[in-house]
């Protein structure tokens, strides 16, 4: 499903953020990604959602080498990947409903096809009554829930999340994690970058530790 071989990444002429990184995530697996700040967790996720090409090495998604993939093909692959960005990246000028339904809309789906599903999802993440609110009027936790709903609304095959529960209370955090585990149960490969040890303990899933540009696979017991 996800395979990286000897991947290196540097931005411009800067130092190498990721070095000779080799990693394989099986289809339907659930992993946490941990490591100190600046270890390259966000950069690794950026590689996986095809926001940036690697400086060297090979990245394969769904058994397909994406490093040399055509532009249109990359869009097809990107549509199979849901992403929760650390800084949310919501569109401030459109409401919660429009933000959440964005991946469906850009994929060419008609509003009548997805409206009920989106409203149900908004209710699930506790934003049923806030669907017409604009992001600047939302709290940090509400924005995070909108970002998560947007990431999962298209039922992606791969879900990548960067600190997805950092701004919500523990109860909402557990509720959102159930959303991820449910998606995983339905077959999605999930990778969640987090600093939160409680979150890792709450889910019975292995962790990958990224340190100094390289990844170490930790067993469940090593968490």
Partner 1 sequence: MAKRTRSAALLPPVRRNDRPLFFVVAIIVALACMSGVAARAAWSASSAWTSDLSGAMTVEVRPRAGDDPSELARRAAEAVARTPGVAAATAMTRAEQEDLLAPWFGAEGLPADVPLPGVVDVRLERLAPATADEIAAALAAAGLDARVDDHGRWTRDLKRAAVAVRALAFGALLMLAGAAVAVTGFATRASLAARADVVEVLHLVGARDEFIAKAFTGRFIGLGVRAGILGAFLAALAAAGFWAVSGGLAPVEDNFLPRFSFAPADVIILASAPLVSAFVAAMTARETVLKELRRTY
SS3 label, residue 131:
coil
| Binding mask of the shown chain, residues 154 to 193, with x at each position contacting partner 1 by CB under 8 A | x---------------------------------------
Angstrom distance (rounded) from CA 57 to CA 6: 5
- Supply the minimum distance, in Å, between the C-beta of residue 138 and partner 1: 16
Q: Provide the 10 A C-beta neighbour count for residue 13.
A: 5
Residue 65 makes CB contacts below 8 A (sequence gap 6+) with 58, 59
Q: Give the pairing of strands 64-65 and 81-84.
A: unpaired
| Binding mask of the shown chain, residues 24 to 63, with x at each position contacting partner 1 by CB under 8 A | -------------------------x-x------------
Examine residue 94 and tell whether it contacts partner 1 (CB under 8 A).
yes
Candidates 26-34, 67-75, 178-186, 190-198; binding stretch for partner 1 (CB under 8 A): 67-75
Question: Residues 95, 141, 166, 177: which binds partner 1 (CB under 8 A)?
Answer: 95
What is the helix (H) or strand (E) element at residue 211, kind and residue range?
strand 207-211
- Supply the minimum distance, in Å, between the C-beta of residue 113 and partner 1: 12
| Binding mask of the shown chain, residues 117 to 136, with x at each position contacting partner 1 by CB under 8 A | --x--------x--xx----
Q: CA-based angle 202:217:89, to the nearest 5?
A: 65
Question: Residues 24, 111, 185, 220: which binds partner 1 (CB under 8 A)?
Answer: 111
Q: 111, 118 in Cβ contact below 8 A?
A: no
DSSP output for 6-64: EEEEESTTS-EEEEEEEEEE-TT-EEEEE--TTSSHHHHHHHHTTSS--SEEEEEETTE
Examine residue 209 and tell whether it contacts partner 1 (CB under 8 A).
no
Q: List contacts with partner 1 (CB under 8 A).
A: 49, 51, 71-72, 75, 78-79, 83, 85, 89-95, 98, 101-103, 105-107, 111-112, 115, 119, 128, 131-132, 150, 154
């Amino acid at each position: 499903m996800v395979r990286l071989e000897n991947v290196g990444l540097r931005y411009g002429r800067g130092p190498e953020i990721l070095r000779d990184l080799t990693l394989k995530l099986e289809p339907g697996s659930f992993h946490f990604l941990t490591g100190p700040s600046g270890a390259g967790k966000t950069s690794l996720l950026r590689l996986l959602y095809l926001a940036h090409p690697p400086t060297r090495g090979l990245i394969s998604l769904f058994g397909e080498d994406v490093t040399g993939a055509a532009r249109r093909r990359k869009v097809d692959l990107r549509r199979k990947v849901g992403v929760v960005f650390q800084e949310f990246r919501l569109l401030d000028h459109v409401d919660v409903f429009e933000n959440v339904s964005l991946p469906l809309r850009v994929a060419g789906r008609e509003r009548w096809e997805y409206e009920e599903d989106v409203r149900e999802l908004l209710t699930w993440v506790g934003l049923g009554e806030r669907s017409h609110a604009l992001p600047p009027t939302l709290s940090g936790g509400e924005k995070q829930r909108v970002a998560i709903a947007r990431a999962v609304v298209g039922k992606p095959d791969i879900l990548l999340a960067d600190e997805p529960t950092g701004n919500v209370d523990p109860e909402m955090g557990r509720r959102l994690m159930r959303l991820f585990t449910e998606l995983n149960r339905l077959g999605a490969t999930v990778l969640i970058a987090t600093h939160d040890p409680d979150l890792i303990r709450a889910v019975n899933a292995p962790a990958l530790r990224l340190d100094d540009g390289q990844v170490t696979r930790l067993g469940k017991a090593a968490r």
